[in-house]
Structure 1
Amino acid sequence: MRIVVLVKQVPSTDVGLSFAPDHTVVRDGCPAGLNAADSCAVDQCLQIAVRRRDIQITAVTMGPPAAVGALRTALVLGADTAVHVRDEALHGSDALVTSRVLAAAVARLGFDLVLCGSSSADSGMSAVPAMVAERLGVPALCFADHLVVRERKVEIHRDDGCGDRRVFAAAPPVVVSVTERCGEPHYPRYESRLDARDKLISVWTLDTLGIEPAEVGLSGSASVVHSTTPRPGTRPAALAMGDPTSVAIRLADFLAERQFL
Structure 2
Amino acid sequence: MKIAICIKQVPDSWAEKKMAGGVLDRAGVDAVLNDLDEYAVEEALRIVEANSPTKEAGEASGHSITLISMGPERATEAIRKALSMGADDAILISDPALAGSDALATSLVLSEVIKKGNYDLVLCGTESTDARMSVIPAMISQRLGWAQLTFAGKVAANPASTTVEIERVTEFGNQVMSAKFPALLSVIEKINEPRYPSFKGIMAAKKKPITTMSLSDTGVSPSDVGASAAWSAVKDALPRPPRGAGVKLTDEGSGGDKLVEFLVEKRLA
Which segments of 5 or more consecutive residues in structure 2 lack a partner in the other structure?
A: 52-60, 245-262
Q: Which amino acid aligns with 1:215?
A: D
Q: Alignment partner of 1:184: what SS?
A: coil
1:121 maps to 2:120: no
* Alignment correspondent of 2:85: 77
- Map 1:44-83 to 2 at 5 A: 44-52=43-51, 53-83=61-91
Q: Secondary structure at the match of 2:196?
A: coil
From 184, 195, 216, the equivalent of 2:204 is 195
| Identity value in percent | 38
SS, match of residue 181 in structure 1: coil
Give the C-alpha shift of residue 26 in structure 1: 0.8
Per the TM alignment, residue 231 of structure 1 is displaced from its structure 2 partner at its CA by: 2.9
Counterpart AA for 1:198: K
Indicate yes or no: 2:98 matched with 1:90. yes
Deviation of the 1:260 alpha carbon? 9.4
**Partner AA of 2:20 in structure 1:** A
CA distance in 2, matches of 1:161, 1:146: 16
- Paired position in structure 2 for 1:2: 2
More helix by share: 1
Tell whether the 8 Å contact from 1:99 to 1:132 is kept in structure 2 after alignment: yes
1:14 aligns with 2:14: yes
Paired with 2:102 and 2:212, the residues of 1 have a C-alpha distance of 21
**Displacement of 1:29 after TM fit?**
3.2
| Mapping 1:37-48, distance limit 5 Å | 37-48=36-47
Paired residue type of 1:14? W
1:132 equivalent in structure 2: 140
Change beyond 3 A, Cα 1:168–1:203:
same
For 2:154 and 2:66, the matched residues in 1 are separated by: 21
In structure 2, what is the Cα distance between the partners aligned to 1:4 and 1:260? Answer: 51
172, 175, 180: which one pairs with 1:171?
180
Whole-angstrom CA distance in 1 between matches of 2:104 and 2:235: 18
The answer for the alignment partner of 1:248 in structure 2 is none
| Secondary structure of 1:166's aligned partner | strand
Helix, strand or coil at the partner of 2:190 = helix
Specify whether residues 210 and 190 from structure 1 end up closer, same or farther in structure 2 by C-alpha distance, changes over 3 A only. same
State the partner residue of 1:99: 107
SS of residue in 2 equivalent to 1:5:
strand
The answer as to whether partners of 2:151 and 2:187 remain within 8 angstroms in 1 is yes
- Number of equivalent positions: 238
TM-superposed deviation, 1:259: 9.3
Change in CA separation of 1:49 and 1:225 when aligned onto 2, cut-off 3 Å: same
Q: Residues 20 and 110 of structure 1: is their aligned pair in 2 closer, same or farther, counting only changes over 3 Å?
A: same
Report how far residue 232 of structure 1 moved. 3.2
Query: How many Å separate the matches in 2 of 1:259 and 1:10?
Result: 40
Instruction: Label 1:199 to 1:222 Cα distance change in 2 as closer, same or farther (>3 A).
Output: same
Residue aligned with 1:223, SS:
coil
Secondary structure in 1 matching 2:37: helix
Cα distance in 2, alignment partners of residues 224 and 41 from structure 1: 29
Instruction: Tell me: CA distance 1:234–1:203, structure 2 relative to 1, closer, same or farther (3 Å).
Output: farther
The alignment status of 1:154 with 2:156, answered yes or no, reads: no
Q: Post-superposition, which runs of at least 4 consecutive aligned residues in structure 1 deviate over 3 A?
A: 232-235, 258-261
Measure the CA separation in 2 of the matches of 1:213 and 1:234: 43
Q: CA RMSD in A?
A: 1.9
- Measured in 2, the distance between the counterparts of 1:11 and 1:259 equals 38
Shift, 1:64, TM fit: 1.1
Q: Deviation string for 1:157-183 (max 9, x for gaps)?
A: 122203x21111111100000110111
